[in-house]
Amino acid sequence: MAHDFRVWAPGRDRVELVLGARRLPMRRSGGGWWERTVEEAGPGTDYAYALDGGPPRPDPRSPCQPHGPHGPSRLVDHAAFGWSDDTWRGTPLPGAVLYELHVGTFSPDGTFDGAIERLPHLVELGVDAIELMPVAEFPGRRGWGYDGVALFAPHHAYGGPDGLKRLVDACHAHGLGVVLDVVYNHLGPSGNYLPEFGPYFTGRHSTNWGDAVNFDGPGSDEVRALVVDNALMWLRDYHCDGLRLDAVHAIADTSAVHVLERLAEEVAELAAHVRRPLFLIAESDLNDPRFVRSREAGGYGLDAAWADEWHHALHATLTGERSGYYTDFGPLGLLAKALRQAWVYDGAWSPHRGRAHGRSPAGLSGHRFVVCAQNHDQVGNRARGERSSVLMSEGRLRIAAALLLTAPFVPMLFQGEEWGATTPFQYFTDHEDPELGRAVSEGRRREFAAFGWEPEQVPDPQDPATFERSRLDWSERDKEAQAGLLAWHRELIALRRRIPALSDGRLERVRTDHDEDTGLLTVARGPVLVAVNLGATAR
């Protein structure tokens, strides 16, 4: 047993490896890297780094944080896991139906192992892959995951590295792929020690979360390498099939080779090496084809992008809501446009933004867009985290499902949507620092003013009851109304499997017709005509 410890800390004069009570000086090895080989260290060894004599800090590339983001790191031997998915050859994104889930609330256990028990439900439903909300170590035991700070360490409360591997392995055994949500645009507000190690952030660009991650300033080569290595780790060592890149519009990079293009290139080569399809999905609200256009055509070569406008157009029509960004939606004609090309704002003037927005997606395949009728954001970023199930009639839920699952795009369901779960999905956190907890709660309430929601409606994210309330109630699934909706989803997915025209991504072949007055709308999908009545009168 021996381990070569290596850490990048370019601006430091002294770096020590902390092993229990011992502090071992590390040696400079060029390019800002420090290293030290320790004979008695190996998988399971806990360690930290001390910078210029300061307190122990976790490794920026820590593979495991058994005691949370502030504690020591632990070495992991990825080769030691007993994989049983040798015959798994991956699942391509085109033609897939995704299922987004949050590990903490998906199952009663709220762990990776807890999720495994529910996989047979997903197989019966007929989806192709799960999409896990972020699992990188975040502060506390409860959280959506977007506050992750140890990007290489699966959350300890979910089951850590081995737990995630067991889940991926079980998914593959069930014929399900795994997409992992990863956050490269910011780090959480607590436990982010990266700035102490090096120039991981830059004031050259700013984001909603403050200074941007440094993808193009001095020292950015190593920051880019960290992100690329992180992505490759999930795909190679955890056998994931794809990644969902959070909010790429907040990844500021003026480099000639954008970090997302570099990432796409590296992932393509890894796919050739592991001999299975690997894919990258961007969350972006820029409506810019560049993200998903092939690299040969001057794009970044990501495989797909979330198209939230498809959701907005549908949601505004189904609920009549017009506040916040729903200002830009509502008319049936805009829904029809979304059904044809995912993006409504393709250069058109956006009242909500007060400017023209987006660019035409012409020439792109529908397989390049992930669409949904609900997702963690659209449900969870409502004041009370209400699902569509409590906002609209069962008939409208069925309409949403039909339009989603006959779409020329990549449809995605959100956990429990398939049976119309009535449990909310609210915003919850578990910050140890009471000041930070209070700040998050207050910020949340202010944010919702734009939608006209009252501050007192917003549950306290720090209250454990907010988390508990958001847990899926699986006993609901078998109730009559829910069972009917579940059967509807199953049938639609089965229909999509059976009729090639339904998953056909050629947008130029999608024809819609609608009447604003009667609320009738049709979508022609090859031999299938999807006809829905969104008017007040039965027809």
Q: What angle do CA 311, 264, 148 make, to 5 degrees?
A: 65
In the list 22, 78, 89, 438, the residue contacting a copy of itself (rule: CB under 8 A) is: 89
CA 527 to centroid of chain Cα atoms: 34
Q: What is the β-pairing status of strands 46-51 and 15-19?
A: antiparallel
Contact status: 175 vs a copy of itself (CB under 8 A)? yes
- Specify the residue, 88 or 144, whose C-beta has the smaller distance to a copy of itself: 88
Report how far residue 248's alpha carbon sits from residue 286's, in angstroms, rounded to the nearest whole number. 9
Closest residue by Cα to residue 188 from 219, 155, 221, 228:
155
CB of 129 to a copy of itself, least distance (A): 11
Report how far residue 402's alpha carbon sits from residue 324's, in angstroms, rounded to the nearest whole number. 26
In the list 24, 38, 125, 271, the residue contacting a copy of itself (rule: CB under 8 A) is: 271
In the list 11, 351, 363, 484, the residue contacting a copy of itself (rule: CB under 8 A) is: 363
3-state helix, strand, coil in the chain (%, to 5): 35, 20, 45
Place of tokens 């089965």: 494
Contact status: 95 vs a copy of itself (CB under 8 A)? yes
Closest residue by Cα to residue 57 from 39, 73, 38:
73
CB of 241 to a copy of itself, least distance (A): 11
Report how far residue 456's alpha carbon sits from residue 259's, in angstroms, rounded to the nearest whole number. 42
Q: Is the torsion defined by CA of 263, 266, 272, 274 positive or negative?
A: negative
Contact status: 209 vs a copy of itself (CB under 8 A)? no
Contact status: 465 vs a copy of itself (CB under 8 A)? no
From the list 15-23, 46-54, 265-273, 423-431, the region that binds a copy of itself by CB under 8 A is 265-273
Binding residues among 7-46 for a copy of itself as defined by CB under 8 A: none
- Specify the residue, 84 or 206, whose C-beta has the smaller distance to a copy of itself: 84
DSSP 446-510: HHGGGGT--GGGSPPTTSHHHHHHTS--GGGGGSHHHHHHHHHHHHHHHHHHH-GGGG---GGG-
- Specify the residue, 92 or 114, whose C-beta has the smaller distance to a copy of itself: 92
Contact status: 503 vs a copy of itself (CB under 8 A)? yes
3-state secondary structure of 195: helix
CB 342 within 8 A of CB 409: yes
From the list 94-102, 103-111, 144-152, 411-419, the region that binds a copy of itself by CB under 8 A is 94-102
Count of residues binding a copy of itself (CB under 8 A)?
Answer: 37
Contact status: 348 vs a copy of itself (CB under 8 A)? no
From the list 62-70, 329-337, 390-398, 502-510, the region that binds a copy of itself by CB under 8 A is 502-510
Contact status: 270 vs a copy of itself (CB under 8 A)? yes
- Specify the residue, 157 or 502, whose C-beta has the smaller distance to a copy of itself: 502
CB of 269 to a copy of itself, least distance (A): 5
Q: What is the β-pairing status of strands 511-515 and 355-357?
A: unpaired
CB of 87 to a copy of itself, least distance (A): 7
Report how far residue 441's alpha carbon sits from residue 400's, in angstroms, rounded to the nearest whole number. 32
- Specify the residue, 274 or 392, whose C-beta has the smaller distance to a copy of itself: 274
CB of 294 to a copy of itself, least distance (A): 4
Contact status: 92 vs a copy of itself (CB under 8 A)? yes
DSSP 201-227: EEEEEEETTEEEE-SSSTTHHHHHHHH
Contact status: 448 vs a copy of itself (CB under 8 A)? no
* Binding-residue pattern over the window 221 to 260 for a copy of itself, x denoting contact by CB under 8 A: ----------------------------------------
Report how far residue 209's alpha carbon sits from residue 5's, in angstroms, rounded to the nearest whole number. 31
Closest residue by Cα to residue 425 from 455, 458, 489, 381:
381
Binding residues among 100-129 for a copy of itself as defined by CB under 8 A: 128
From the list 117-125, 271-279, 390-398, 510-518, the region that binds a copy of itself by CB under 8 A is 271-279
- Specify the residue, 191 or 366, whose C-beta has the smaller distance to a copy of itself: 366
Q: Kind and range of the H or E element at 327? A: none
Binding residues among 280-319 for a copy of itself as defined by CB under 8 A: 293-294, 296-299
CB 299 within 8 A of CB 289: yes
From the list 98-106, 344-352, 501-509, 527-535, the region that binds a copy of itself by CB under 8 A is 501-509
Which residues are known to be catalytic? 246, 283
In the list 488, 505, 507, 534, the residue contacting a copy of itself (rule: CB under 8 A) is: 505
Residues in the chain: 539
Binding site for a copy of itself (CB under 8 A): 87-92, 94-96, 128, 175, 265, 268-277, 293-294, 296-299, 363-365, 367, 500, 503-506
